[in-house]
Every structure is written in structure tokens, then in C-alpha cells.
Amino acid sequence: MPQKGRRRYRFTHGEISSVRAQLDGSFDLEGAALHNPGKRVLALNSASIDGGIYADELTTDGEISAIGVQIEADSNSEIQH
């Protein structure tokens, strides 16, 4: 079942895994600091995100994996990096 709304992350140690997730909203990483040195910090493989990804000022210390992710933003959303 898709999750609605905005999923927001600000600071983590370890891995965020949203593999095969269906998000009926946006994925917000604006200003986030993600840390998992030498390992995966974010996994979005095969995820479906309908509201866009927001990632201005994102900092990471670790690997991001987004193989096969589908991102669809409506006309009122922006995909930022």
C-alpha cells in the first residue's frame, strides 16, 4: 500500500532503506546529513515516488543506490538535487 504525504529525513547514522517502497507523496532530504561511512547510506532500488525528491543541501558520507527508481512529480512539484 502506498504511503501518502512527505517522508522527511534530517540526520541518520546507518542505512535508510526504501527498497520497493511506493510513496504517494514526496521524499524530502533537504538539508539532511546521512552518515554510514564506507557502506550504503540510502537505498531506493525499485522504489516508486510520486511527489518528487527534494535534496537541496543534502550531505552524505556513504553510498546511495537508486537502481530502477521511478520518480514522478506532478506539475506543482520540482525534482531538485
Cβ-contact 22, 48 below 8 angstroms: yes
Report, as an integer, the average pLDDT of 37-65.
Answer: 93
pLDDT at 30 over 50: yes
pLDDT(37) > 90: yes
pLDDT at 81: 47
**Average confidence score pLDDT of the chain:** 83
- Confidence band for 72, pLDDT divided at 50, 70 and 90: confident
List phi, psi (to 5°) of 14: 110, -165
- Other CB atoms within 10 Å distance of the CB of residue 32: 20
| Pair 47, 18: CB distance under 8 Å | yes
Residue 77 has pLDDT above 80, yes or no: no
